[in-house]
């Protein structure tokens, strides 16, 4: 069913004017893939997945963003400069960039987008706490901003009583200086606060659009981003046109690029205003084969390299690009991920959950029967790092060499059988089938079959349920999946982000999909929130890591190294999965298609 979810009169007029100004052949169109059935919503406050992020980041913007030339460093986006603090991070002062306008849209008088002001920031952050918006991302700012939790509790109580969430209510931690300057006061200094302001869920939206579209706002995005939605056909495609009123954002300066980046000519657009293309077209690919064939035929600009096609482009031993691939003008980028691939348990499930020695033993037995090295070699060409705990490589708290002092990484079938007996299921007798949810597509069906085979060696019966990715997230959010599998990429480069996945107030539909609850862990998590990086903080990270390993709320872990291929006609491409507003820096050269 084709839903033309947003074609306003204003946008039609703008598009018509643009087409009149340039012939069709002169339009630059960028085609890119989304590897799954794509976003579930285009409202950032209810988004939670990479694919929600990938779509929303084209149309909305945040106060801060990661640099394209260095995706571990923050820089201003909707701000004129980086925020400042004169009291060691408790009070932060912000100044909005001048000349930033929301998209032209019929929700505004005369259809003309207005300038972003201080109230838009306060409004957008309040929306995260409105229970009408599902509270998926409340965990990002909960117990952080002075007065915000109290205000939210009062407003949500009003909703329960049949009233409304009053967005005009005052929050003591939001201090307006004028239309373009403001302060945010924290309950106490929180190290991650600025990182959160670069996450797509904190994107700035206009109140007029939310109130005008109501429940349809998730399909009618109005932001400040480089692109304006043309059409979204859920699970199939998303197209957007260049924002004709986009504020000035310049391509990174030449001296910001490394020697390797300059060798790939990534510096050639230095100092030019973006976006470079007139239109961006995303196609959703639940299966990898169609995506791979579309890339091979030159129809999409870049692709992640699916493991089963790796040796069609690379030498499996040296990991170098094959000569015939280079001769086609294709180049590659290698992107190590802050990655946490796991199979999780719902700790509230009657069979798999619980904290007694017997319940822990069952989860440990399942973990011990799994051979992650076989998964890596078979499905990832060996391009992964296996490690203990939830903290990926390159972050403080990651165990040296990947091996923690506590470990239930398999395969150790003898110990797995011993743990099964401790759990009350000797040789698997009496153990019901375990229902496991994961997304369909890619090689997931084959991965599930391997997992079934490995577990069958100790008489554990896995019952797989392959569903669309959006359905998988819905089932985990609603605590309906006893066991489930997907991956978490760190939102920011600090292990606190991964440890937040086990903080009990973040239970589903928050980021704690395991619904893990342990008071000792929670107390340590609340302690690290206010700590700056230090050996003392790292020691606590390690203590929390080992606590989670012992309780075994998941099977893991693996971190991928992603290989990207880039067609010759796609310019300026330096793929990253740290954030997704970098598509505005891409350009196309149609003469090379």
Q: Please report the DSSP string for 468-505 in residue order.
A: -HHHHHHHHHTT--SEEEEEEE-SSSSTHHHHGGG-GG
For residue 488, the model assigns a pLDDT of 85
Q: Please report the DSSP string for 90-156 in residue order.
A: SEEEEEBPTT-BPPP-TTSGGGPPPBP-HHHHHHHHHHTT-GGGTTTTGGGTTTTBTTHHHHHHHHH
- Mean pLDDT to the nearest integer, 26-52: 92
Residue 262, classed as helix, strand or coil, is helix
pLDDT digits (tens, 9 = 90+) for 332-375: 999 998 889 999 999 999 999 999 999 999 999 999 999 999 99
| Tokens, residue 547 | 């606590």
Mean pLDDT computed over every residue of the chain: 92
CA–CA dist 89, 416 (Å, integer) = 48
Name the least confident of 7-16, 406-415, 469-478: 7-16
* Confidence category of residue 382, pLDDT binned at 50, 70, 90: confident
- Mean pLDDT to the nearest integer, 4-29: 50
- Mean pLDDT to the nearest integer, 297-311: 93
CA–CA dist 21, 186 (Å, integer) = 50
Which single residue is written with the structure tokens 């880039």?
Answer: 566
For residue 255, the model assigns a pLDDT of 93
Q: Are 321 and 331 in contact (CB under 8 A)?
A: yes
For residue 16, the model assigns a pLDDT of 41
Name the least confident of 22-36, 64-78, 381-395, 490-504: 22-36
pLDDT digits (tens, 9 = 90+) for 183-209: 999 999 999 999 999 999 999 999 999
Cα 1 from chain centre: 28
Number of Cα atoms under 13 Å in the Cβ half of residue 535: 0
Q: Which residues of 125-143 are buried (b: 16+ CB within 10 A; e: fewer)?
A: bbbbbbeebbbbbbbbbbe
- Ramachandran angles phi, psi of 174, nearest 5°: -105, 110
CA–CA dist 263, 189 (Å, integer) = 42
For residue 511, the model assigns a pLDDT of 87
- Mean pLDDT to the nearest integer, 431-447: 89
For residue 530, the model assigns a pLDDT of 86
- Mean pLDDT to the nearest integer, 251-270: 94
For residue 491, the model assigns a pLDDT of 84
For residue 152, the model assigns a pLDDT of 97
| Tokens, residue 131 | 């229970």
First CA to last CA distance, the chain: 31
Give percent of the chain above pLDDT 70. Answer: 96
CA–CA dist 270, 575 (Å, integer) = 17
* Domain coordinates in residue numbering, the chain: 339-561
For residue 383, the model assigns a pLDDT of 85
For residue 7, the model assigns a pLDDT of 41
Q: Are 124 and 208 in contact (CB under 8 A)?
A: no
Q: Please report the DSSP string for 406-459 in residue order.
A: S---S--HHHHHHHHHHTT-GGGTTPPPEEEEEE-STTHHHHHHHHHHHHHTTT
Q: Are 63 and 314 in contact (CB under 8 A)?
A: no
CA–CA dist 250, 235 (Å, integer) = 33
pTM higher than 0.75: yes
Question: For the chain, give me the number of helices (H) and strands (E)?
Answer: 18, 19
For residue 9, the model assigns a pLDDT of 39
pLDDT digits (tens, 9 = 90+) for 51-93: 999 999 999 999 999 999 998 899 999 999 999 999 999 999 9
Which single residue is written with the structure tokens 């089938």?
Answer: 433
For residue 22, the model assigns a pLDDT of 44
The number of beta carbons lying within 10 Å of the beta carbon of residue 462 is: 19
Q: Which of 440, 439, 438, 478 is nearest to 462 (CA)?
A: 438
For residue 26, the model assigns a pLDDT of 64
Residue 382, classed as helix, strand or coil, is coil
Residue 486, classed as helix, strand or coil, is strand
* Confidence category of residue 444, pLDDT binned at 50, 70, 90: confident
For residue 233, the model assigns a pLDDT of 97
Determine if the peptide bond prior to 204 is cis (ω within 30°): no
Q: Which fold has domain 339-561?
A: Dipeptide-binding Protein; domain 3 (3.10.105)
Q: Which of 494, 520, 587 is nearest to 192 (CA)?
A: 494
Q: Are 198 and 492 in contact (CB under 8 A)?
A: yes
CA–CA dist 66, 56 (Å, integer) = 16
For residue 1, the model assigns a pLDDT of 35
pLDDT digits (tens, 9 = 90+) for 566-588: 999 999 999 999 899 999 999 99
Give percent of the chain above pLDDT 90. Answer: 81
| Tokens, residue 561 | 């190294």
Which single residue is written with the structure tokens 């988004």?
Answer: 47
CA–CA dist 339, 229 (Å, integer) = 30
Asked whether the predicted pLDDT for residue 19 surpasses 80, the reply is no
Which single residue is written with the structure tokens 């109580």?
Answer: 157
Q: Could you tell me how many residues make up the chain?
A: 593
For residue 316, the model assigns a pLDDT of 85
Q: Are 368 and 411 in contact (CB under 8 A)?
A: yes
Asked whether the predicted pLDDT for residue 8 surpasses 70, the reply is no
| Tokens, residue 103 | 């998209």
pLDDT digits (tens, 9 = 90+) for 114-165: 999 999 999 999 999 999 998 989 989 999 999 999 999 999 999 999 999 9
Q: Which of 387, 389, 391 is nearest to 497 (CA)?
A: 391
Please give the DSSP secondary-structure letter assigned to residue 88: T
Q: Are 575 and 333 in contact (CB under 8 A)?
A: yes
For residue 317, the model assigns a pLDDT of 87
Q: Please report the DSSP string for 537-565 in residue order.
A: HHHHHHHHHHHHHHH--EEEEEEEEEEEE
CA–CA dist 159, 593 (Å, integer) = 55
Q: Are 8 and 111 in contact (CB under 8 A)?
A: yes
pLDDT digits (tens, 9 = 90+) for 512-531: 999 999 999 999 999 998 88
| Tokens, residue 149 | 């939790």
pLDDT digits (tens, 9 = 90+) for 219-242: 999 999 999 999 999 999 999 999
pLDDT digits (tens, 9 = 90+) for 289-302: 999 999 999 999 99
């Amino acid at each position: 069913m084709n839903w033309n979810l947003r074609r306003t009169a204003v946008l039609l007029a703008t598009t018509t004017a643009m087409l009149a100004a340039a012939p069709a052949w002169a339009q630059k169109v960028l085609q890119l893939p989304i590897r799954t059935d794509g976003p579930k919503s285009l409202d950032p406050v209810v988004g939670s997945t990479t694919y929600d992020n990938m779509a929303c980041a084209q149309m909305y913007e945040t106060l801060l963003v990661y640099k394209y030339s260095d995706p571990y460093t923050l820089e201003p986006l909707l701000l004129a400069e980086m925020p400042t603090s004169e009291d060691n991070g408790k009070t932060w002062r912000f100044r909005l960039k001048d000349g930033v306008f929301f998209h032209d849209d019929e929700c505004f008088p005369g259809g003309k987008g207005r300038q972003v002001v201080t109230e838009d920031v306060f409004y957008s952050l309040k929306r995260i706490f409105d229970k009408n918006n599902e509270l998926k991302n409340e965990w990002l700012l909960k117990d952080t901003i002075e007065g915000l939790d109290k205000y939210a509790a009062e407003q949500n109580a009003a909703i329960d009583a049949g009233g409304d969430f009053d967005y005009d209510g005052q929050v003591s931690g939001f201090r307006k200086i004028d239309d373009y300057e403001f302060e945010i006061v924290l309950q106490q200094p929180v190290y991650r606060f600025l990182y959160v302001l670069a996450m797509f869920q904190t994107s700035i939206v206009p109140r007029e659009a939310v109130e005008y579209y109501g429940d349809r706002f998730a399909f009618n995005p109005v932001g400040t981003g480089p692109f304006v939605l043309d059409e979204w056909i859920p699970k199939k495609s998303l197209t957007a046109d260049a924002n004709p009123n986009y504020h000035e954002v310049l391509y990174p300066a030449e001296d910001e690029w490394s020697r390797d980046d300059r060798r790939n000519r990534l510096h050639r657009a230095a100092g030019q205003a973006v976006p470079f293309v007139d239109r961006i077209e995303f196609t959703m690919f639940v299966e990898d084969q169609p995506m791979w064939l579309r890339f091979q035929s030159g129809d999409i600009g870049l692709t992640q390299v699916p493991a089963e096609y790796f040796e069609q482009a690379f030498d499996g031993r040296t990991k170098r690009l094959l000569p015939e691939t280079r001769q086609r003008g294709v180049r590659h980028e290698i992107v190590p991920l802050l990655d946490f691939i796991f199979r999780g348990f719902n700790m509230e499930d009657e069979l798999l959950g619980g904290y007694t020695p017997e319940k822990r033993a069952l989860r440990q037995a399942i973990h011990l029967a799994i051979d992650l090295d076989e998964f890596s070699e078979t499905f990832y060409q060996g391009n992964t790092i296996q490690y203990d705990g939830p903290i990926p490589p390159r972050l403080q708290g990651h165990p040296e060499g990947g091996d923690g002092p506590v470990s239930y990484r398999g395969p150790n079938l003898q110990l797995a059988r011993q743990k099964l007996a401790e759990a009350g299921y000797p040789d698997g007798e009496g153990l019901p089938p375990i229902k496991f949810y994961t997304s369909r597509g890619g090689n997931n069906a084959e991965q599930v079959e391997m997992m079934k085979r490995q577990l069958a060696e100790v008489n554990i019966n896995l019952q797989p349920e392959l569903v669309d990715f959006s359905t998988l997230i819905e089932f985990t959010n609603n605590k309906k999946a006893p066991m489930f599998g997907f991956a978490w990429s760190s939102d920011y480069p600090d292990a606190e982000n991964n440890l937040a996945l086990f903080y009990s107030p973040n239970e589903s539909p928050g980021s704690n999909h395991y619904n893990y609850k342990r008071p000792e862990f929670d107390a340590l998590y609340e302690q690290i929130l206010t700590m700056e990086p230090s050996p003392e903080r790292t020691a606590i990270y390690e203590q929390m890591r080992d606590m989670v390993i012992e309780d075994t709320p998941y099977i893991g872990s693996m971190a991928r190294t992603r290989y990207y291929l880039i067609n010759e006609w796609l310019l300026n491409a330096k793929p990253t999965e740290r954030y997704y507003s970098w598509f505005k820096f891409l350009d196309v050269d149609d003469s090379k298609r």
